[in-house]
Structure 1
Amino acid sequence: MALLGDSALAMWWDMAPDMRAEFEHWHSHEHFSERLALPGFLRASRWAAADGGEGFFILYELRDHAALSSPEYLASLNAPTPWSTRLMPHHRNMVRSQTRVLHSHGAGVARHAMTLRLSPREGEAPRLQAALRAMIEELPLRAGLAGAHLLRTDTPAIAPTTEQKIRGNADRSADWVFVVCGYDLEVLRPWSGKAFAPAELAALGAAPGAVAGAYSLSLSVARGENAPAR
């Protein structure tokens, strides 16, 4: 399996331009280090909106689903650092999906990533999953692309955390998450546009309302190679 481990935490949020520099400093030099010190957190990656907008896509690759409810992780979520406490209110339009990896092939990290948040229509989950799995096996072989992955949200039964409360509202979540990684943005762009237009997705068995986005890599750090938190 290309992604490290069998679970992942996938997140999207917007960050206002006047907070971006501090956010990236904090996220790179404190938050990644903090998370990668927790049991089961194997790799942390951050991509920024490819069009230069305010959006970010963050992926934590996890050894197993238990990492999402470990005592150490819950303690961290409920005792954010002063710097985290300062930055959390600026995470706008948060989508936070605690997932299991259904299918993964090829590279887990590349220069660019397309993400698709979607749901199957009632009764169509097997057909949609089969169609996406076929794509996952084929897409990484194309010039310009490197990997493809399908995640399904499975939220642990835990109480709202201090970090969530600081952000000011309940986090939304995606149902399924489809990710395509590549080294050529022009090859990847169609997968966040025409290739996943509503009609094409409906033909595969997806419900209306899918959300696609293209992102470019800011930083990826694996467990053990990050600098100590400060």
Structure 2
Amino acid sequence: MTKSAVIEQSQHAKGELLIWTDVTPENEHDFNQWYDTEHMQERASIPGFQWSRRYHSKTASRPYLALYRTDSLHVFTSDVYRQAFENQTEWSIRNFSAMRNTNRRVNAVTEVFGAGTGAAVSLVCLGNIENAQRALNAHEALLQAVTGILTVRILTPDPALSKPLPSEDVSKRVLEPFMVIDTTTLESAQIAGAWISNFLSLPTESHHTFQLLWDLRATDLK
């Protein structure tokens, strides 16, 4: 990878939508039913989407994470995606109102290492592009230090495409890069996230561990 790869914001870069949220306890069951029986399939069926993935954390303040990979950032400006985003179902609208402290980020993807889907991920909040570059440069040392790592990638938010959902406090909004580390176990994800955080001298709360709930590929719907 070159230095410019981390800060690449080309519309031709692969895209990844990140939705990281909490939900009101009384709506949590409905929220999960909505995601698992409507929303995942709806998004994965949009032309240009490659897959949808859902995760849950027992420790993060926002326990639910959803990731959606697209062929490019262009997909998020397509008429089909705009129609889906601007014309949500009634069930979607109800659950958006139940979500709390939600981060919605449309990201350019820098694929650093590996292939495949892990049983868990570490999500590391990198703070700024400089830390993202340092994290990229340290990936070989990370792989030597931690076993069980399958893939590593960096997500860099696109400011124009990362429109906030209603539950995000825009006065505290930070469009920071993320490192996503797919691993074979939750333990490996925790160790990997802690390693990167320590390397970059990030606060303890900068890394979070999530277990994969399920993975839906667009090809599964055909």
- Pick the TM interval, shorter chain: 0.7 to 0.9
- Unaligned 5+ segments in structure 1 are none
Question: Does structure 1 residue 103 correspond to structure 2 residue 102?
Answer: no
Partner deviation per Cα, 1:78-108 (whole Å, 9 max, x = no partner) = 1110111111111111111111112332135
Query: Once the 2 structures are TM-superposed, how far is the Cα of residue 29 of structure 1 from its aligned partner?
Result: 1.4
Secondary structure class of the residue paired with 1:224: helix
**Equivalent residue in structure 1 for 2:135, among 132, 148, 152:** 132
Tell me which amino acid in the other structure corresponds to 2:157.
Answer: T
> For the residues of structure 1 that align with 2:33 and 2:194, how far apart are their CA atoms?
31
Which residue matches 1:191? Answer: 192
User: Does the CA-based 8 Å contact 1:65-1:100 persist in structure 2?
Assistant: yes
Query: Once the 2 structures are TM-superposed, how far is the Cα of residue 137 of structure 1 from its aligned partner?
Result: 4.7
User: Does the CA-based 8 Å contact 2:197-2:206 persist in structure 1?
Assistant: no
Secondary structure class of the residue paired with 2:96: helix
> For the residues of structure 2 that align with 1:14 and 1:188, how far apart are their CA atoms?
21
Partner deviation per Cα, 1:166-185 (whole Å, 9 max, x = no partner) = x5865945420101111122
Tell me which amino acid in the other structure corresponds to 1:42.
Answer: Q
User: Does the CA-based 8 Å contact 1:96-1:172 persist in structure 2?
Assistant: no
Secondary structure class of the residue paired with 1:189: helix
Aligned residue runs from structure 1 range 151-162, under 5 A? 151-156=155-160
> For the residues of structure 1 that align with 2:113 and 2:102, how far apart are their CA atoms?
27
- Percentage of matched positions with identical amino acids: 21
Distance 1:50 1:111, change over 3 A: farther
Which residue matches 1:218? Answer: 213
> For the residues of structure 2 that align with 1:209 and 1:49, how far apart are their CA atoms?
16
Give the TM-score normalised by structure 2. 0.80
Give the TM-score normalised by structure 1. 0.77
Partner deviation per Cα, 1:164-216 (whole Å, 9 max, x = no partner) = 35x5865945420101111122222123446514xx324xxx7x797221100
Tell me which amino acid in the other structure corresponds to 1:218.
Answer: L
Question: Does structure 1 residue 39 correspond to structure 2 residue 47?
Answer: yes
Query: Once the 2 structures are TM-superposed, how far is the Cα of residue 10 of structure 1 from its aligned partner?
Result: 1.4
The aligned length equals 209
Query: Once the 2 structures are TM-superposed, how far is the Cα of residue 44 of structure 1 from its aligned partner?
Result: 0.5
Which residue matches 2:151? Answer: 147
Distance 1:172 1:27, change over 3 A: farther
Query: Once the 2 structures are TM-superposed, how far is the Cα of residue 220 of structure 1 from its aligned partner?
Result: 0.8
Which residue matches 1:201? Answer: 200
> For the residues of structure 2 that align with 1:186 and 1:29, how far apart are their CA atoms?
30
- Unaligned 5+ segments in structure 2 are 2-12
Distance 1:135 1:50, change over 3 A: farther
Instruction: Give the CA RMSD over aligned residues.
Output: 3.0
> For the residues of structure 1 that align with 2:75 and 2:220, how far apart are their CA atoms?
19
Tell me which amino acid in the other structure corresponds to 2:101.
Answer: N
Which residue matches 2:5? Answer: none
